[in-house]
């Protein structure tokens, strides 16, 4: 049960980190909501990085958010497989 709580905590921290990253740049947030698939491209990341410090911080927050969210999901799936006896 403790592992599941850690997984949910990692996912929630990733969501909070992503929210902080989205709040840093209004342009990036507008671009994300206009086309979510294009946000991950290198072209968009380089455009955001031209904004200076807040752009860099937004990119780091969003990458960290993705890592925490996917990590939390991975922990949750691994624990579910372990409890089912498949792992």
| 3-class state of residue 41 by DSSP | coil
pLDDT of residue 59: 79
* pLDDT tens, N- to C-terminus, the chain (87 residues): 678 888 888 999 999 998 888 787 666 667 667 777 765 677 767 777 776 777 778 778 888 998 999 999 999 899 889 889 987
> Where in the sequence is the domain holding 65, given as residue range(s)?
2-84
Residue in this structure with the two tokens 């671009």, named with its chain if needed: 31
Q: Domain count for the chain, please give it.
A: 1
Q: What is the model's pLDDT at position 67? A: 92
Place of tokens 């946000």: 39
Backbone φ and ψ of 80, nearest 5°: -65, -40
């Amino acid at each position: 049960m403790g592992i599941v709580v850690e997984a949910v905590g990692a996912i929630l921290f990733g969501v909070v980190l992503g929210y902080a990253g989205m709040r840093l740049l209004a342009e990036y947030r507008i671009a994300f909501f206009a086309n979510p698939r294009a946000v991950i491209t290198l072209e968009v990341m380089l455009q955001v990085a031209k904004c200076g410090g807040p752009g860099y911080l937004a990119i780091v927050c969003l990458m960290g958010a993705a890592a925490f969210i996917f990590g939390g999901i991975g922990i949750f799936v691994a624990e579910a497989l372990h409890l089912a006896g498949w792992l």
